[in-house]
Structure 1
Amino acid sequence: MNQEFAWRSAIMHCIADPTDVGPDNAYEYYEDGLLVVENGRIKALGNASDLLFSLNADTPIEHHPNALITPGFIDTHIHFPQADMIASYGEQLLDWLNNYTFPEEQKFADADYANDVAERFLKELLRNGTTTALVFGTVHKTSVEAFFTQAQRFDLRMICGKVMMDRHAPDYLTDTPDSSYSDSKALIEKWHQNGRLHYAVTPRFAPTSSSEQLHKAGQLLQEYEELYLHTHLSENQKECEWVHDLFPESKHYLDVYDHHQLLSERSVFAHGIHLCDLEYERLHETGSAIAFCPTSNLFLGSGLFNLAKAEQHKVNVGVGTDVGGGTSFSMFATLSEAYKVTQLRGENLNPIKSFYMATLGGAKALKLQDKVGNLAVGSEADFIIIDKQATPLLTTRLQRSSTIQDTLFALMVLGDDRAIQATYAAGRCVHRRQ
């Protein structure tokens, strides 16, 4: 049975960080390209004129002359239990958690409810072209069981973890250092590296975990290979003040996590808005990453992420939608807000850099660049087909576009889920626009 398939279209993917090599040297673009997939992996990529002759005689070819194929998007910070509470009005971080987030997360003790939300959440990600995400569950084991069960149905490369939270939260959402350790351990042994799935040790943030619990999180990271650490860092000024009061012995916020051995090449810290130079330096030294979450940072009034400072210190940066504090599942919308954040800081975000952060940069932040994030031969075939005529406005705007940079920028500002014509995971179509 022939397992080779091909797609002909304009094709673009990033091959390096534009900050290191310059935007013009950071990507490959084929105006009339061919992507060949065999058994779920990229077999060939290049100009159609160079590759068509090498295909098997019976290889199916999909031709998309008005589209652009790119790698699937990578979301480095998102909360699946908050999918239904997106767009909740009028709070900053700490009040928003108490008034909206915690009551919603209580519902995930129910396995049926958790499965329903997990399925709808994943379908929404795929509808927006996101094929890999680093995902928060709730304090309940059932939430993570539901998420991984649904992700496995689609054969997605996904990362998730059970929230660890033993204080400063409602009784109905707290665990203990020992129970969080044992629950996480059971989930790790069942799901970590099961197919395309990975586990992330997930203390919510320093204020809701005691030192004993953070120690248990560090213990898990020592006991199992290639686990992720996923938490929040320096999102809100009042949060930072609270951390200082709770951990007066720590030099700064990041030092709380560092003291408990939670920094590594697979540690991802969401936000990182209010950092000092010592924190940037330590993130770089340990290979830890920051998830830049512009829509939630603006929506919750948290502040403006300093991308230039992170790059100055050579810190890995991915992009996170941070739903439900974030206001859209769309990476287009998220990159649009990222551009505006940098503008407000008096800087400029090149569209190649934007798409790098949402694809290969996100993969590097998650140490998955050998698997996803670009379309290199041998990579897993996670990709999207973007319809350049998805809306009348996009059609007319892109008719004026003469460069791939300009096309990407227009998609970033004007695109949404309607522009995602199809989403593929491991070479299989997991979403097709109706």
Structure 2
Amino acid sequence: MPVRTAIVGTGNRAQLFTEGLAKRDEYDVVALCDPNSVRMAFHNRMLLAAGRRTAHQWPPARFDEMLRVERIDLLVVTSVDATHDRYIEAALRAGVRVISEKPMTTDATKAQSILDTVRETGGSLSVAYNYRFNPVHRRVRELLAEGAIGDVHSVHFEWMLDVSHGADYFRRWHRDKANSGGLMVHKASHHFDLVNWWLGAEPRTVYARGQLAFYGPGHEHGYARDYERANGSPEALDDPFALQLADNATLRELYLDAEGEDAYYRDRNVFAPGVTIEDDMAVLVSYDSGATMSYHLTAYSPAEGYRVMFNGSRGRLELNVEESTWTQPHLRVESAKGAVHGDLAAPMAGRTSITLRPLWSPPVDHTVDHDHAGHGGADARVLAALLDDSRTEGAEIADARQAALALVTGLAANRSLETGQPVQTADVLKI
């Protein structure tokens, strides 16, 4: 019998799961749950297009009833981050297997409650940290595990979001820290998970500094226009930061056509009031292995990519991923598959390098192909691992504990931002 599956949260990212499940005969998506029926109808059209039957549509207020009536075996959670805990815990207590998008949740109280529920029920919770499944990241882990640079003493990690992709977090619900936990939780937990996984280590102490330096009110930079949201606003027409939902069929159907039900605006002015997250953050982390990490996230870079440098007792390993060299204005937003919407998107350079620099020896190139489909090819691989029980060499699905370890660095960073003091991760979560 097919696995009776429900998806809660039918926004943009959920498309990855709806499409992936529809391609697999061993799964049957029987229920969708979302506050907005227009978005659920969009996902039902995806199911029909794949030759599958439509799913029953349920409001969140009837979620527990949905689990029971639809006899759900598997729940996929892709709702607003701050709501994950409600659905995860109810499903686990009902004996339902759960797959959640990252991050697991947004604050320490909710995270602890999820961990406690997993322990109490013995249930299955997997969190889709897909970057583990990028072949580039797997190669880095292999080199470190092989001892290519000996004992790892320090890591420097710089992540750059360009002024299209980075700006997108300031247009949508992520701009409110109560919804997303800020970029330290929503975005950087990806990166903190990678470092935990690469080093085979756990974070112990976190110190952070950050600010809203570029976006938000008062940061005109010569760009700001006086409008609340882009659609129907003449002032937005010449704003390079504006997102025109009507120009993209998917965004129009998922969000613009759905506004009448919930008044959710996907195209807010990135300089308008209401931004409570930071856009420039620095973090210092110490690990139980003795290693340290300096991390910086910039959400307003002219180019997109990241650099990671590992310093060890036998040399240095450098990863450099250049995803775009510069950015043209308008319409560049990440889709569920990691693709780019819009005909004025930034040129994608696609340059990746992995360089090993041993002591007393010349550098050695260990570069592997960088697949640009869905987060470096990671989306398809993480789906195979989650849905097909496919074993991907060098990668593994994050369970609740690993997801909490990825999350706790960001939670501790947020606490450090508030207090100005270093934070012990053990004081944030009992993992």
TM over 0.5: no
Could you say which structure has the higher helix fraction? Answer: 1
Give the TM-score normalised by the residue count of structure 2.
0.25
Give the TM-score normalised by the residue count of structure 1.
0.24
